[in-house]
């Protein structure tokens, strides 16, 4: 049995390009969208997205989608302490980097019902299992085997980007970056990190 998105409170951690796109989609479903980032998007504020503290994001989100980079500050950001503060039964989605979630603690939270649903396109041990055919071998990673045993967990092998359009765009941007570097000109994709000492090491 599923549930309607309309009217749900959707939390978004990290409002860069992907987080912004996700916010816009959720607004289209009639969700109340809240977010947390050290750099607030004026565009999202104008659309009605409200920025809140990380603690409030955990406490009131029915669905929480993670879109922040992996740094020393965000590694295992979702550990036992953070997961004990989430709204019981909420849906947690991570399509950013696997190690942002402490897998062991997430399994414990799933067993108690603290996490109601978990969707991950990334996994902290993915390099050993996601990019090769292991159908004829024994999986030695007990944690992902345990995750796959839950009927409320969906795991995809880091392929949310895997479309013709996305791959074409990746190739186009890569070539443009090479050309800018070769011509010693500024690239439109240059990343300038601001306030690296803060929680999300946000980039603009």
Report if residue 3 sits inside a domain: no
Task: Average the pLDDT over 35-43 and give the result.
Answer: 95
Let me know whether 97 and 179 are in one domain. Answer: no
Let me know whether 98 and 150 are in one domain. Answer: yes
- H/E run at residue 180: helix 164-182
Is 67 known to be catalytic?
no
Domain containing 54 equals 9-161
**From the candidates 36, 158, 169, 197, which is the catalytic residue?**
158
Report if residue 97 sits inside a domain: yes
| DSSP character string of 84-112 | TTSPTTEEEEE-S-GGGB-HHHHHHHHHH
Let me know whether 69 and 100 are in one domain. Answer: yes
Whole-structure pTM value:
0.82
Q: How many domains does the chain have?
A: 2
pLDDT above 90 (res 131):
no
Report if residue 4 sits inside a domain: no
Is 158 known to be catalytic?
yes
Task: Average the pLDDT over 39-44 and give the result.
Answer: 95
Q: Which of 26-35, 37-46, 158-167 has the lowest mean pLDDT?
A: 158-167
Let me know whether 58 and 115 are in one domain. Answer: yes
Q: Greater confidence, 178 or 194?
A: 178
What would the pLDDT profile of 144-187 be if each residue is shown by its tens digit? Answer: 889 999 999 999 888 877 889 989 998 999 999 999 989 998 88
Write out the two tokens for 154: 């969906």
Let me know whether 89 and 186 are in one domain. Answer: no
Q: By percentage, how much of the chain surpasses pLDDT 70?
A: 93
**From the candidates 97, 145, 172, 190, which is the catalytic residue?**
97
Let me know whether 190 and 139 are in one domain. Answer: no
Question: What is the band of 197 on the pLDDT scale with cuts at 50, 70, 90?
Answer: very low
**From the candidates 126, 165, 169, 197, which is the catalytic residue?**
126
Is 36 known to be catalytic?
no
């Amino acid at each position: 049995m599923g549930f309607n998105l309309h009217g749900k409170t959707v939390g978004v951690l990290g409002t860069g390009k992907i987080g912004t796109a996700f916010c816009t989609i959720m607004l289209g479903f009639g969700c109340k969208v809240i977010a947390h980032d050290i750099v607030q998007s004026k565009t999202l504020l104008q659309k009605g997205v409200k920025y809140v503290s990380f603690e409030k994001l955990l406490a009131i989100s029915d669905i929480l989608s993670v879109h922040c980079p992996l740094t020393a500050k965000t590694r295992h950001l979702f550990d036992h302490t953070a997961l004990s503060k989430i709204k019981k039964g909420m849906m947690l989605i991570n399509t950013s980097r696997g190690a942002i979630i402490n897998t062991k603690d997430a399994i414990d939270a799933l067993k108690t019902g603290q996490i109601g649903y978990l969707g991950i396109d990334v996994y902290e041990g993915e390099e050993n299992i996601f990019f090769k055919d292991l159908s004829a071998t024994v999986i030695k990673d007990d944690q992902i085997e345990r995750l796959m045993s839950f009927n409320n967990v969906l795991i995809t092998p880091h392929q949310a980007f895997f479309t013709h359009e996305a791959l074409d765009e990746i190739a186009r941007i890569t070539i443009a970056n090479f050309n800018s570097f070769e011509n010693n000109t500024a690239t439109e994709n240059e990343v300038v990190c601001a306030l690296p000492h803060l929680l999300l090491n946000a980039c603009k």
